[in-house]
Structure 1
């Protein structure tokens, strides 16, 4: 049995998944504190850090935030203060949380065992590969990477270095999505025929003026491998930090193609993950045909898609239809439907949502907290509920939809085994995304 087969069967069976040759934590005493660093101290990063702080304080986990990194010194200081206040509220008087501007300097610290990466999408591959090469376990915000080749490289680096990588597709740690997918995977309502995925969209268009770069921001480092562009606050992130140390609106880079592909990867990473979990193609599968149509702003700073619909055909005949709407996934089977969203779940036969799979049936991996699952998996030297291959296959589906949109809705033929677009040189070239010098994989 090859690695992918074993991983797929383990995840489907809800087992502790693959044992990894972790350099740091496999077999380590739980009395040893796992030291965790945060790379990217913004809206999502601070949210993930709270999950690490709260779960790390549990005796059976024993993990601790020890460092915060951000090219914006106001943000790294804010993250540092959040962590310090957490430990001070629990009776500690002297709390040492280091701050860094450059993630490469943080990764040189051998005392750090794991990192949370919550940076703009263009950074994920470079920082993830560097962290894996440094022997750090990784909690990676979704989407896994910006491009498909970057995802393949990150999968390889993760496995070569024997570290745990948990992708931040936290819906896998929700009972709503897991139970709905149990219904589908066990054919309790008959064979799966169709999946309908709904994702929100952006508004697009924003006129802006170039602004001086604030002294607290290393803008060149923030850009990283992305093209050099003039600074404007609305296109990066707000300089406002609220009294409760939280951030407000979504940062502007989420609507700029130089840094992110928009909601197709933003919300698509969540919803397509669940779609493929239900289909059973989340580890090493994917569609064989795909087509998408998108609407894009005619001008302005925000230039990701503002409207979208798509369709993907899988080898087993299942069709995944996509459209804009309230985020959710509907599975259509021979004898009924199951629907799941963050607010709940529905089923043609509600009793099936409470049914526990028999020993001979598929019982998907159960996690009740995404950050907790990551910390336990890293300590035990194994995969969590959303390992690197799963994040890569989900992101592949998202990026293929984007490529089809860029080509005006052209149908793409995809080989999920070789991970190549078949018979379309123009589309294949769009898989490769250049990096600004001196950055490279």
Structure 2
């Protein structure tokens, strides 16, 4: 057998260059071959990553039936009822009709495909009569029917949440009221022995966060804060990848909220039947300053400090909790903030442009949050490490850094490039998106509306409630328990205090106080 001479790429190029007509063509073929090699190369294999392995699903079979009460059945409460399997019949019918018109609108199929959580809604409480009456029909609709003539005799409307908490046939409560009621209702529920699912942000004030944490721990009830991003597949995958040091040393995190429509800025519609006769205004204002009746304040409460904490306590918390879920950052050492009311000059007190910087010196990193409610330029969550940068939303992408140490060989060989994602994870990427409104699309892109489990699109709030219920049955701690909730609350309060007092604030971890 004769020896076969091996040619390098340089030799081939030199040879082709001597053939004037075919040289360019031949080099193009060579480039095509190189390109194909790059396509075949998969860095995930080199790193030993199985991107599409899925964790075991939380069981929804067996266990005792849990009897629920829901306090606050407006926009968010209605959504949580749907996530739990109790949509209003008119809503179910609307979804079904929309699917007949547009097959990419999968809301009906998603809802009908949700697991039966083995729960009963025994009590609903809302101080707006219209919302309460709608919730009664929703709570009666465990069969997911498209029509319902009367309320189930097993469902009771309560006009005051304290009466609902006294009910012996209620084991647990979902609290979806404005923020200024979260703490007191949570404390009272815990003392009544009711397990608690409470919407974010945790509390309106720092003092309330301490009081609620203390009571939950003393009573031992199972507590879940409503950050459904804890169930987003891409967020959980991000944690796995970062735990494997895929990004290298992380030094900077940027997160944002950008929206550009009145609904996204909390200018919600005012119901035509809202008046002093249909709304218990005295009860609404009980925990805070009393103002004359205002339907605007009732429906757009997030715009005033009396009832909420603005962008810091509302939308920042989504972004912070996602990062805390992945990196376990905890409470920052310090925070500064700035912003103002730049666009929505409608009488609101909270800013519509807001930014805050959080320092973690013990981790050698900074997290930057910025938000505008008058521009929807998409920026997303970006985690920057020495070796790579992660863009973390419903779609997860990792880009190598040109100066990476860890990926130097692959970069030099042209196998990966900083201009292209070297790792992409997008569960359900071949499914159709049935979201309709700008706000729905915003939350969907951030992985906060639905996720994909074993190829099936699932409401993340459904999974979050499901996790809470199974933890009640098994006496376990859910993913966003009171400790995680407390970290969220203090971080958000630090940003709000820094903005309102125009100063840098610090967290004294030993004394557990903001200074």
TM-score w.r.t. length of structure 1: 0.75
- Note the C-alpha offset of 1:279: 2.7
Correspondence for 2:293 among 216, 231, 240:
231
Q: How does 1:366-377 map to 2 (within 5 A)?
A: 369-377=463-471
Structure 1 equivalent of residue 319 of structure 2:
271
Structure 2 equivalent of residue 311 of structure 1:
357
Cα 1:198–1:125 shift into 2, 3 Å: same
- Note the C-alpha offset of 1:331: 0.8
Correspondence for 1:138 among 169, 193, 196:
196
1:344-385 per-residue CA deviation (whole Å, 9 max, x = no partner) reads: 222226565659xxxxxxxxxx99611111111111111111
Cα 1:305–1:69 shift into 2, 3 Å: same
- Note the C-alpha offset of 1:122: 0.5
1:204-250 per-residue CA deviation (whole Å, 9 max, x = no partner) reads: 999x9xx994312111101220210122222212xxxxxxxxxxxxx
Q: Is 1:322 aligned to 2:374, yes or no?
A: no
Structure 1 equivalent of residue 487 of structure 2:
393
Correspondence for 2:187 among 129, 133, 143:
129
Structure 2 equivalent of residue 107 of structure 1:
165
Q: Quick one: distance in 2 between partners of 1:157 and 1:169?
A: 21
Q: Quick one: distance in 1 between partners of 2:188 and 2:165?
A: 8
Cα 1:139–1:212 shift into 2, 3 Å: closer
Structure 1 equivalent of residue 46 of structure 2:
none
Count of residues in correspondence between the two structures? 366
Structure 1 equivalent of residue 21 of structure 2:
none
Q: How does 1:56-71 map to 2 (within 5 A)?
A: 61-71=117-127
Q: How does 1:281-360 map to 2 (within 5 A)?
A: 281=329, 285-296=330-341, 300-314=346-360, 315-324=362-371, 326=378, 328-341=380-393, 343-348=394-399
CA contact (8 A) 1:56 1:62 kept: no
Whose radius of gyration is greater, 1 or 2?
2
3-state DSSP class of the match of 2:140?
helix
- Note the C-alpha offset of 1:159: 1.4
CA contact (8 A) 2:190 2:219 kept: yes
Q: Quick one: distance in 1 between partners of 2:254 and 2:212?
A: 29
Structure 2 equivalent of residue 95 of structure 1:
152
Higher relative helix content: 2
Structure 2: 5+ residue stretches without partners: 1-54, 87-110, 373-377, 401-420, 427-452
1:69-96 per-residue CA deviation (whole Å, 9 max, x = no partner) reads: 0111221111011122344739999822
CA contact (8 A) 2:63 2:473 kept: no
Q: How does 1:377-416 map to 2 (within 5 A)?
A: 377-408=471-502, 410-416=503-509
Q: Quick one: distance in 2 between partners of 1:88 and 1:138?
A: 25
Q: Quick one: distance in 2 between partners of 1:382 and 1:295?
A: 42
Q: Quick one: distance in 2 between partners of 1:135 and 1:327?
A: 43
Structure 1 equivalent of residue 69 of structure 2:
37
1:163-188 per-residue CA deviation (whole Å, 9 max, x = no partner) reads: 11111001111112221233223322
Correspondence for 2:257 among 193, 199, 222:
199
Q: Quick one: distance in 2 between partners of 1:163 and 1:295?
A: 39
1:278-333 per-residue CA deviation (whole Å, 9 max, x = no partner) reads: 3322xxx3111221112136975311111112211102111011112547321111
CA contact (8 A) 2:507 2:514 kept: yes
Higher relative contact order (CA 8 A, sep 6+): 1
Structure 2 equivalent of residue 280 of structure 1:
328
Q: Quick one: distance in 2 between partners of 1:385 and 1:88?
A: 28
Cα 1:293–1:50 shift into 2, 3 Å: same
Q: Quick one: distance in 2 between partners of 1:289 and 1:103?
A: 37
Q: Quick one: distance in 1 between partners of 2:512 and 2:494?
A: 11
CA contact (8 A) 1:264 1:398 kept: yes
3-state DSSP class of the match of 1:273?
helix
Larger mean CA deviation between 410-419 and 328-337 belongs to 410-419
3-state DSSP class of the match of 1:392?
helix
Cα 1:94–1:170 shift into 2, 3 Å: closer
Cα 1:271–1:94 shift into 2, 3 Å: closer
Q: Is 1:262 aligned to 2:310, yes or no?
A: yes
3-state DSSP class of the match of 2:73?
coil
1:142-198 per-residue CA deviation (whole Å, 9 max, x = no partner) reads: 001111221121111111111111110011111122212332233222121111010
Q: Quick one: distance in 1 between partners of 2:208 and 2:334?
A: 22
Q: Quick one: distance in 2 between partners of 1:113 and 1:164?
A: 11
Q: Is 1:80 aligned to 2:136, yes or no?
A: yes
Q: Is 1:186 aligned to 2:233, yes or no?
A: no
TM-score w.r.t. length of structure 2: 0.65
